Structure 1
């Protein structure tokens, strides 16, 4: 997919789970040339997971389409192998900045994005799509998450092993972060700490079967029952080379730069 200069989204390829967002689904709907996602405009950022897509609009709302078998569309539905949406639906429960919200047009022709259920306060500044879970990073450096949670990758420190979240949850098991990335069953982030003691530390949590958390073992970190995230690289060990970004690959490989 691509984001055009006039802030529209174009997609092409496999459409077996509606991941092109064009209102059709199935092998016969697969496209080998790009298609506009109908009704979706004023988009400033896009992110692609496995068979699903997220789009962040200038009004602060987030829209999703495609596979929803693990609740990764965040619209309160999903869970089950046949769940999908072939057109954009709004992710529920994310904060919307009221100062920009009213000045922007709607995303799918269904309104202005001023639905009060989206709340007010800090805005979403970044979206991240993992294999089948997703993160939204707010202007206050807080993480909201939704989708598959079978390895604790949502960072919500849930006390029960509820493996699917169909709406956004605050990642209460994580500190404030300035950058975040989602892989297959795990997450990485660069910390921001108000007291400065841990600023730019790289942390990781979730699945660790291939050592992708960088913890020196293959034990996963679900953040449940007082479990803690892993500090992969303390910034204090590299004072002259501040970390700014991380990337979590779907093939269980992690990068920092």
Structure 2
């Protein structure tokens, strides 16, 4: 299932009917091994998920009811359960339940940073470098809100490096804190930053629209498409044409005239996507993660040819050396580290989303963003037809049955039913009166033509069986027989047997007969048996005798 962007900018009396997928899909998390610990019932409820940790052995997920659960090895208390005990059973995080997680990122410790739909920031986990932003270096065993300097700010995006954290506010400000040995918090020094501090310098009067972190570097895209970078640069991951660290934000001059929309950081390499769907990469390249066809590091932005089609999404994660991209045509490519191998040029995968690249090819198998289900308003052909049944706004024909109208479409009836093909061919009437069958039965028949399914209680399906026989609808006849079988009991067995004989439904007749023989004592004491047609009774007794029903 494709995830959405983490930025804020699922017997008798029973009616048998078509069941379509709801607008909210189930999240497909089966490609990440950690989810094998969850039951199928739990997996069906997941609407958001993030797999993280040094081995992909920690997971946080939210359900359709906005309840938040975690499980895994719990390194440095990164599960937020209040202790450092591992768990193979999902544990609920009461602090976050009902909060609606909008964006999530994680560090190498690991530590976790989230923002809620309300713009609040919560952190927990490893904190030796103050990456939780609470002013201490004590590990955070439970999620705690980060309020210093953010109390009146609405945070819309979060990003983590190995041991530093960064957030983007709704008014385009960037705040950073944590480990700063290479200038990755952008303060102009290399002293660790214990609480959130606004990143200024060249960003002072700029409105940022996107942020990302490599292991020890930071990036921001501003609204005019410029990219600003700071932090560690030993592999050229800042794209400045040098390998010197940068303690404050610096614009990438080589991208002059190019309008960047998004930036993504790997362990020590960087990808950007332009407004024209072009992709550029730079930085470390020992696994081919730049996609340039070699393994040489690159300190300037280099164009990457993915496809003739426009690129609409780029993906990288600071904990791996893998890159991915998706084109407008829906093709997903990957390059870089692939299960121990090096892929030096974009390679077309069989996946439908970039998230699956990291589940199946990256080491460790993590998620590069918060996986999230998005509403799917697209209707299949079958769903569209079902939706139009009995719709007076689009119908061009009405059946009048028992004083009630059923709205249908002539062309569909002619396509789906031989009877209507001949009846409606030279018929210009807008209303056709029907008296041979009841409203309930005829409506079920017409709905079947739109859905391929019966929407009728099993005990009322005998009338539909009569109609199916009359119209020579053999598939409908079989469906009716299956439905009637579901409703059989001692009281109605003879009535159903009589109907099966009347409508020449041989399979149903044999089924009902076997049921009567297996429950002979009770069936012969019912009203239906007492009122049984004489010829049918004679045939029943004769056949029952032949199968040994009356042996002592």
Once residues 15 and 147 of structure 1 are traced to their aligned partners in structure 2, the CA distance between those partners, rounded to angstroms, is 19
CA contact (8 A) 1:128 1:135 kept: yes
The answer on 1:90 being equivalent to 2:198 is: yes
Match for residue 140 of structure 1? 224
The answer on 1:232 being equivalent to 2:307 is: no
Partner SS state of residue 69, structure 1 = coil
Match for residue 147 of structure 2? 38
Please list the CA deviations of residues 142-174 of structure 1 after superposition, one character each: whole Å capped at 9, or x if unmatched.
10110011122111234xx42x11100001123
Partner SS state of residue 178, structure 1 = strand
Structure 2: stretches of 5+ with no match in the other structure? 1-112, 327-552
Q: How many Å apart are 1:49 and its aligned residue?
A: 1.3
CA contact (8 A) 1:188 1:203 kept: yes
| Structure with greater proportional strand content | 1
Once residues 305 and 262 of structure 2 are traced to their aligned partners in structure 1, the CA distance between those partners, rounded to angstroms, is 14
Once residues 230 and 38 of structure 1 are traced to their aligned partners in structure 2, the CA distance between those partners, rounded to angstroms, is 40
CA contact (8 A) 2:236 2:282 kept: yes
Once residues 51 and 234 of structure 1 are traced to their aligned partners in structure 2, the CA distance between those partners, rounded to angstroms, is 32
Match for residue 49 of structure 1? 161
CA contact (8 A) 1:200 1:234 kept: no
Partner SS state of residue 152, structure 1 = coil
Matches within 5 A, 1:130-209: 130-158=214-242, 161-162=243-244, 164-174=245-255, 175-192=258-275, 199-209=276-286
The answer on 1:217 being equivalent to 2:294 is: yes
The answer on 1:247 being equivalent to 2:312 is: no
Once residues 209 and 75 of structure 1 are traced to their aligned partners in structure 2, the CA distance between those partners, rounded to angstroms, is 30
Match for residue 12 of structure 1? 124
Q: How many Å apart are 1:37 and its aligned residue?
A: 1.0
Shift in alpha-carbon separation, 1:234–1:211, aligned structure 2, 3 A: closer
User: In terms of mean alpha carbon deviation, does 42-51 or 136-145 score higher?
Assistant: 42-51
Q: How many Å apart are 1:34 and its aligned residue?
A: 0.4
The answer on 1:124 being equivalent to 2:208 is: yes
Once residues 140 and 222 of structure 2 are traced to their aligned partners in structure 1, the CA distance between those partners, rounded to angstroms, is 34
Match for residue 86 of structure 2? none
Please list the CA deviations of residues 14-65 of structure 1 after superposition, one character each: whole Å capped at 9, or x if unmatched.
111101111111xxx1122101113223222211111111011223221111
Q: How many Å apart are 1:181 and its aligned residue?
A: 0.6
Q: How big is the alpha-carbon RMSD for the aligned residues of Structure 1 and Structure 2?
A: 1.6
Please list the CA deviations of residues 68-105 of structure 1 after superposition, one character each: whole Å capped at 9, or x if unmatched.
01100001111xxxx3122111212244xxxxxxxxxx
Please list the CA deviations of residues 218-242 of structure 1 after superposition, one character each: whole Å capped at 9, or x if unmatched.
011112xxxxx3322255x22xxx3
Please list the CA deviations of residues 111-142 of structure 1 after superposition, one character each: whole Å capped at 9, or x if unmatched.
xxxxxxx23xx511111111111111011111
TM-score of the aligned structures, taking structure 2 as reference length: 0.36
TM-score of the aligned structures, taking structure 1 as reference length: 0.76
Partner SS state of residue 201, structure 2 = coil
Structure 1: stretches of 5+ with no match in the other structure? 96-117, 193-198, 224-228
Highest CA radius of gyration, 1 or 2?
A: 2
Tell me which of the two structures has the higher relative contact order, counting C-alpha pairs closer than 8 angstroms and 6 or more residues apart.
Answer: 1
Once residues 143 and 20 of structure 1 are traced to their aligned partners in structure 2, the CA distance between those partners, rounded to angstroms, is 26
Once residues 218 and 313 of structure 2 are traced to their aligned partners in structure 1, the CA distance between those partners, rounded to angstroms, is 17
CA contact (8 A) 1:70 1:166 kept: yes
Partner SS state of residue 32, structure 1 = strand
Q: How many Å apart are 1:5 and its aligned residue?
A: 2.8
